[in-house]
């Protein structure tokens, strides 16, 4: 009988892959790579951190690596709170391990 694969090694590699921690969650990088505003929006095109400098600290605080446990955003209408929520929700879904 000839074994083409060492089953013990294969099991150890699968276990190591399952236990490997996921890469750190970076909502800022995710927003720059994945968020694009349409032509009808005030700032069409890809997400631009220079256009939303006040979002940086909020998105960094939303990261699981940040010691902050509660993030409260207060602001007037039409300043981008929905954009923040979308970045957080969709970024969590795509970058999270679950």
**pLDDT at residue 29 in the model:** 93
Mean pLDDT by 10 residues, the chain (98 residues): 78 88 87 90 86 90 89 84 90 80
SS3 state at 39: coil
The neighbouring-strand residues paired with 45 are: 37
pLDDT of residue 60: 92
Rg (CA), the chain: 20
Predicted local confidence at residue 57, as pLDDT:
92
pTM: 0.72
């Amino acid at each position: 009988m000839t074994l083409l694969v060492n089953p013990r090694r294969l099991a150890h590699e699968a276990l190591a892959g399952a236990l490997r921690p996921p890469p750190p969650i970076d909502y800022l990088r995710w927003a720059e790579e994945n968020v694009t505003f349409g032509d009808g929006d005030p700032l069409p095109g890809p997400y631009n951190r220079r256009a939303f400098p006040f979002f940086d600290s909020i998105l960094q605080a939303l990261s699981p690596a940040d010691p902050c446990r509660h993030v409260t955003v207060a602001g007037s209408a039409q300043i981008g709170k929905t954009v923040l929520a979308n970045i957080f929700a969709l970024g969590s879904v795509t970058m999270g391990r679950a």
